[in-house]
């Protein structure tokens, strides 16, 4: 998409963000384009999951007022010395954007973040599509440098989950749980997912890209795209959710816990994880080459899940494993 098209879409949303009706003619005049171009730009935004009503004689309006991401506002509320937060309109994937910068040799400070209003190729674990409608959720990726190498990343996705839980508990009074190895749940419904991607050597410093998709205000049509129970912050919390503030808070909590992790590794987080373990002491089914049924007994010092079966107690690590509540 050209820069002029992105600019026009952004300007149209600047007017429509308040949730009121605006005529196509008025919008066209503000941007110096035709009414047909207005309709085309808004149709493109609909394809990215934005709910836009068109009523003859009244014009266009969003189904709900939205708060657009604002790079200037974000910068103003960041603490002094914080790493950069880059805001994109529509991108393929915020994780891909950071990985491309690494591959191009662009230097970044640990804690650098990219966020976007929408993703066209958002990814979850095991290559699953991550539904990324426009202007409603958080699509957030953070760069971190692990000086100890990729082997030190054991348990990293769980630590990231704990950072999200700390934020939700301390800022929004929400009791969130971590579903091993990379999901956040509230009231047995999925709120967020984590995707950690590594680039580097096992025994040398490596680059880490941490992707977090967090549901803030899922649109009505989301059930058509998601096959599991889900929730969002606006449903779970009584507080007003400001996405710009939330981005800054999330960066701060991530950097804080990653600094801890760099120094101590995963072991000191075991107790905290067990307090937030979605399936603690519950019957579970672990999908692997040979399905495993047993009781979830927490995690070990590397973040491996401990499952007690009728025959033995074993530890299992990430990769292609998935966890489901047992019957």
Q: Residue 182: which domain range?
A: 71-273
Please check whether residues 146 and 205 belong to one and the same domain: yes
Number of separate domains in the chain: 3
- pLDDT value at residue 163: 98
* Measured distance CA(94)–CA(250) in Å, rounded: 15
Contacts of 287 (CB under 8 A, 6+ apart): 321, 322, 323, 324
Tell me if residue 128 is catalytic: no
- pLDDT value at residue 319: 44
Of 273, 289, 313, which one is at a domain's C-terminal end? 273
For 276, the 3-state DSSP assignment is helix
- pLDDT value at residue 49: 82
Give the domain CATH number at 40: 1.10.10.10
Exactly one of 125, 177, 179, 297 is catalytic; name it. 125
Give the domain CATH number at 312: 2.30.30.100
Please check whether residues 266 and 291 belong to one and the same domain: no
- pLDDT value at residue 320: 47
Tell me if residue 324 is catalytic: yes
Please check whether residues 183 and 48 belong to one and the same domain: no
Please check whether residues 316 and 203 belong to one and the same domain: no
Strand stretches in 125-276, DSSP E: 138-146, 177-179, 183-186, 189-200, 206-214
Q: In terms of Cα–Cα distance, which of 327, 321, 318, 325 is closest to 150?
A: 318
Please check whether residues 255 and 285 belong to one and the same domain: no
* Measured distance CA(186)–CA(236) in Å, rounded: 8
pLDDT tens sequence for the chain (327 residues): 667 787 899 899 999 999 999 999 999 999 999 999 999 999 999 888 888 999 999 999 998 888 899 999 999 999 999 999 999 988 999 999 999 999 998 889 999 999 999 998 887 666 677 677 888 899 999 999 988 888 888 899 999 999 999 999 999 999 999 999 999 999 999 999 999 999 876 667 889 999 999 999 886 666 666 777 889 999 999 999 999 999 999 999 999 999 999 999 999 999 999 999 999 999 888 877 778 889 999 999 999 999 999 999 999 886 445 566 554
113: which 2 tokens? Answer: 């973040």
Exactly one of 61, 177, 190, 243 is catalytic; name it. 190
Please check whether residues 109 and 257 belong to one and the same domain: yes
Pairing state of beta strands 113-119 and 85-91? parallel
* Measured distance CA(206)–CA(168) in Å, rounded: 29
Q: Report DSSP state, residue 150.
A: G
DSSP assignment of 170-207: HHH----EEETTTEEEETTEEEEEEEEEEEE-TTS-EE
Please check whether residues 75 and 204 belong to one and the same domain: yes
Of 41, 62, 83, which one is at a domain's C-terminal end? 62
Please check whether residues 169 and 309 belong to one and the same domain: no
Tell me if residue 179 is catalytic: no
Please check whether residues 114 and 44 belong to one and the same domain: no
Please check whether residues 97 and 18 belong to one and the same domain: no
């Amino acid at each position: 998409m050209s820069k002029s098209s992105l600019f026009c879409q952004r300007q149209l949303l600047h007017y429509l963000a308040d949730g009121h009706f605006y005529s196509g003619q008025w919008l066209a005049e503000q941007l110096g384009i035709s009414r047909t171009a207005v309709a085309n730009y808004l149709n493109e935004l609909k394809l990215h999951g934005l709910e836009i009503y068109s009523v003859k004689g009244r014009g266009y309006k969003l189904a709900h007022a939205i708060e657009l991401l604002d790079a200037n506002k974000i910068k103003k509320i960041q603490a002094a010395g914080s790493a950069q937060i880059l805001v994109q309109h529509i991108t393929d994937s915020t994780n891909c954007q950071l990985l491309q910068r690494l591959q191009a040799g662009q230097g970044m400070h640990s804690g650098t973040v990219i966020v976007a209003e929408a993703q066209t190729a958002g990814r979850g674990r095991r290559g699953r599509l991550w539904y990324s409608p426009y202007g409603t959720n958080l699509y957030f990726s953070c760069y971190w440098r692990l000086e100890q190498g990729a082997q030190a990343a054991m348990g990293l996705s769980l630590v990231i989950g704990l950072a999200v839980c700390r934020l939700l508990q301390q800022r929004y009074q929400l009791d969130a749980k971590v579903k091993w190895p990379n999901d956040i749940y509230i009231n047995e419904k999925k709120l967020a997912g984590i995707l950690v991607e590594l680039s580097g050597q096992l025994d040398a410093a490596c680059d880490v890209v941490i992707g977090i998709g967090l549901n803030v205000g899922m649109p009505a049509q989301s059930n058509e795209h998601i096959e599991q129970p889900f929730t969002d912050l606006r449903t779970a919390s009584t507080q007003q959710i400001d996405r710009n503030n939330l981005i800054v808070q999330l960066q701060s909590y991530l950097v804080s816990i990653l600094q801890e992790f760099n120094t101590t590794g995963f072991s000191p987080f075991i107790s905290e994880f067990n307090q937030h373990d979605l399936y603690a002491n519950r019957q579970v089914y672990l999908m692997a080459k040979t399905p495993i049924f047993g009781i979830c007994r927490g995690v070990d010092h590397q973040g491996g899940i401990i499952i007690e079966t009728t025959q033995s107690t074993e530890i299992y690590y990430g990769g292609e494993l998935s966890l489901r509540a047992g019957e």
